[in-house]
């Protein structure tokens, strides 16, 4: 029968149930008139910068974006570092070489389903070509669409992750 429950020794005025109830009711009533915090999602969206009411961190790591040079070609030189470092093995890269000896990717595909969004590919890239994006709306109508090819990666326009805080690069 006996269950040892620790009971705090409180002054008697503090253990009045009815007074505590009224106190709680006052609190909940006050909350009814406080500003609402709900984001009305499809109308309001989080932004990667400080503009909007709702922000997401600039260090957010979302779906990838391939940077392009002035001619609109991808900056990738097919060095092979990103598939090498990728822990999820989600990057498929087939390097090619043009007449002038410049390396470029023949095939560059990222399977976003396998990706763990660690951001190592951006970190390791010597050309600052592949980036993880500050972006979170990824819905598609079929699974195949989640393998992003080079064309699609280059066409992305969303902001890219800064991966670390530029003012505190060493995480201090």
Partner 1 sequence: MSPELKGFILLSILKMLVVFTVVLVGVALLTLMERKVSAWMQNRRGPNRVGWAGLLQPAADGLKNIVKEETFPAVANTGLFLLAPAMAFIPALLLSGVIPWAAPLPISVDDFGEAIHAGLTSLYLEPTGRFISWLFHLVFGPVSFHGVLSGAVADLPVGFLFILAVSSLGVYGIALAGWSSNSKYALLGGLRSSAQMVSYEVAMGVSLIPVLLLSGNVSFSEIINRQQAGTWYIFPLFLSFFLYFVSGFAETNRLPFDLPEAESELIAGYHTEYSAMKFSMFFIAEYSNVVTVSAVASALFFGGWDVPFISVDPAHPGLLGTVNLGLLFTLLSALVMFVKTMTFIFVVMWIRWTLPRFRYDQLMALGWKVMLPMALGYVMIISTAIYVIEHGLGIESARTQSWILFGLNLILAYGVFGLLDRGRIVSGSNSRTRVPGPGPVAGARRVA
Written as six digits, the tokens of 112 are 């976003």
Residue closer to partner 1 (CB basis): 26 or 73: 26
What is the b/e burial string over 68-95, where b = at least 16 CB atoms within 10 angstroms of the residue's CB? Answer: eeeeeebebbbbebbbeebeeebbebee
Provide, rounded to whole angstroms, the least separation between the CB of residue 1 and partner 1. Answer: 5
DSSP state of 147: E
Among positions 25, 106, 116, 155, the unique one binding partner 1 when judged by CB under 8 A? 25
- 8-state DSSP, 104: E
Q: Using the minimum distance from each CB to partner 1, give the nearer residue, 33 or 141.
A: 33
- How many positions of this chain bind partner 1 (CB under 8 A)? 31
Sign of the torsion angle spanned by Cα atoms 129, 135, 137, 138:
positive
Closest to partner 1 by CB, 22 vs 94, is: 22
Window 26 to 45, contacts with partner 1 (CB under 8 A): 27-29, 31-38, 40
Integer CA distances (angstroms), 153 to 117, 146, 164, in order = 15, 11, 22
**Residue 30: CB minimum distance to partner 1, A:** 9
- Least Å distance between CB 16 and partner 1? 5
- Residues of the shown chain interacting with partner 1 in the complex, contacts defined by CB under 8 A: 1-7, 9-10, 12-13, 15-19, 21, 24-25, 27-29, 31-38, 40
């Amino acid at each position: 029968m006996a269950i040892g429950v620790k009971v705090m020794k409180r002054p008697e005025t503090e253990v009045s149930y009815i007074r505590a109830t009224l106190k709680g009711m006052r609190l909940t009533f006050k909350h009814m008139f406080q500003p609402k915090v709900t984001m009305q999602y499809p109308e309001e969206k989080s932004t990667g910068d400080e503009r909007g009411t709702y922000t997401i961190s600039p260090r957010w790591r979302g779906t990838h974006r391939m940077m392009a040079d002035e001619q609109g070609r991808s900056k990738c030189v097919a060095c092979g570092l990103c598939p090498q470092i990728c822990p999820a093995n989600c990057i498929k890269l087939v390097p090619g070489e043009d007449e002038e000896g410049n390396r470029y990717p023949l095939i560059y595909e990222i399977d976003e389903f396998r990706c763990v969004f660690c951001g190592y590919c951006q970190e390791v890239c010597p050309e600052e070509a592949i980036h993880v994006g500050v972006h979170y709306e990824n819905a598609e109508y079929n699974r195949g669409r989640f393998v992003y090819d080079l064309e699609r990666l280059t066409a992305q326009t969303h902001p890219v992750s800064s991966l670390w805080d530029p003012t505190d690069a060493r995480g201090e």
